[in-house]
Amino acid sequence: MNHKTIALIQHPPIVLDTAQSLERAVVLIAEAVAQGAQLIVFPETWLSCYPAWVFGLAGWDDAQAKHWYQKLLADSPVLGAHDDMLDGLAPLRAAAREHKVCVVIGINERARAQGGSLYNSLVTIGDDGCLLNVHRKLTPTHTERNVWAQGDAAGLRVVDTPIGRVGGLVCWEHWHPLARQALHAQDEQIHVAVWPDMPEMHHVAARAYAFEGRCFVLCAGQYLTTADIPRELLDAYCQGAGAEQSADGVLFAGGSGVIGPDGQWLAPPLVGKASIVLATLDLDYVDAQRHDLDVAGHYLRPDIFELRVDRRPRHGIELLDA
């Protein structure tokens, strides 16, 4: 049997402190590996926070919004095209290499060291510490566009890992049918679905993706409380969507879980506590479920439908020197 063990990290980061968040991530990776994990997943923009304040500070020329954007920009790692340039994620790469484990993590990615733009990115690191993929969220939702730029399709890829073919999307990208089909067509076995919060409709989207793609879906949601937010940020943060303060101070309640290729929960959602969610996947079950539905194969109608995906990186400027 083709069994693989995965772990979903439902612990808070150190908000707006990537260096300390990376230290926490390394400890959590070691803890998950000790429990048998071969693939470890962190939620959307876990490094170093989901900027929920954008939904409450969306007015023109808002001084608070500019202040917190500057803080987030300064705290966000820069990624390069080659492994030796990935200084921003060096501790994660080292941990993946040391433990021979694959890591998928959501980050706020700064485009260039002095650049002024951020991406909502999903980074996949191989068990040798090398970068396998960076997917930048294609379309930030609503006032998220005040923080994140639109990504291109360069990272709309499924990659080979020792535990199977792994792809991923960020949050409401799961309602983008063409993005879904682009990954289905790459024979995805394990799909990483990262979110800030996990209300019912997010679980609906994740279960539909699993059934449609006949793949395992790993739902990773944030767990965050008022105690995790810097005091000076708390009021602005609590104005954000999904950050409705409960009586016990929980802002994001998690909801991480694992769905099988039949759309049923393999590990039901864990709500209301910081923890590591573990599950064992039988990848042979993916092939069995594709007997009656393969949307990129025998259920496809290439004679009447055609999808073209341009995965060339987009830089927006070409500098020609002598």
* Active site residues per annotation: 44, 137, 171
Q: Which two tokens stand for residue 90?
A: 């060096």
Count of CA atoms in the C-beta half-sphere (13 A) of 129: 16
CA torsion sign for 130, 197, 215, 300 is: negative
Q: Which two tokens stand for residue 162?
A: 């020792």
Helix, strand counts (H, E) of the chain: 7, 13
Rounded CA gap, 27 and 15, in Å? Answer: 17
Distance of CA 269 to the CA centre of its chain: 17
Rounded CA gap, 168 and 158, in Å? Answer: 8
| Coil, strand or helix at 255 | strand
